[in-house]
Amino acid sequence: MRLDVLVPASPARTVTGRVLHLLEPISFWGGVSSTEGTLTDPRGTQHGESIAGRVLFIRELRGSSSGSSVLLELAYRDRAPSAIVLSEADAILALGALVAREMEWPAPGIFRLPAGQQGAIPEGIEVSIEPDGKVSF
């Protein structure tokens, strides 16, 4: 399986981590602790789950233009996911990863895989995503 590469991980590398499929739409602003790297929306079934170092599959985002600053702070604190796989491209999260790269902080790769194909990668397994988007598990 190969993902579309939206923003390569920085520094350039193969990213690895355990898969976390988000079950509900997420807003990084207010839905993720920028200091702890955990899901903070108390209405969510995954409240308290860590996203740090995970390969995060997101089917639907709830938008806030501040999401890029949350991702940037996660990168600064080394609490960011190792990769984010979106069902659709998102300029806000991509901006956070691009700025982290410019600041020379470790930045997650941002990839795209349609929502209907995301279920082919099981929850909780360790995956690797190469710089060209090739996934192995």
What does 83-120 look like in DSSP terms, one character per residue? EEEESS--HHHHHHHHHHHHTT--B-EEEE--HHHHTT
d(CA 137, CA 121): 8
| 68 is known as an active-site residue | no
Select which of 27, 64, 87, 128 is catalytic: 64
Nearest 5°: phi and psi at 122? -65, 150
Give catalytic residue positions: 64
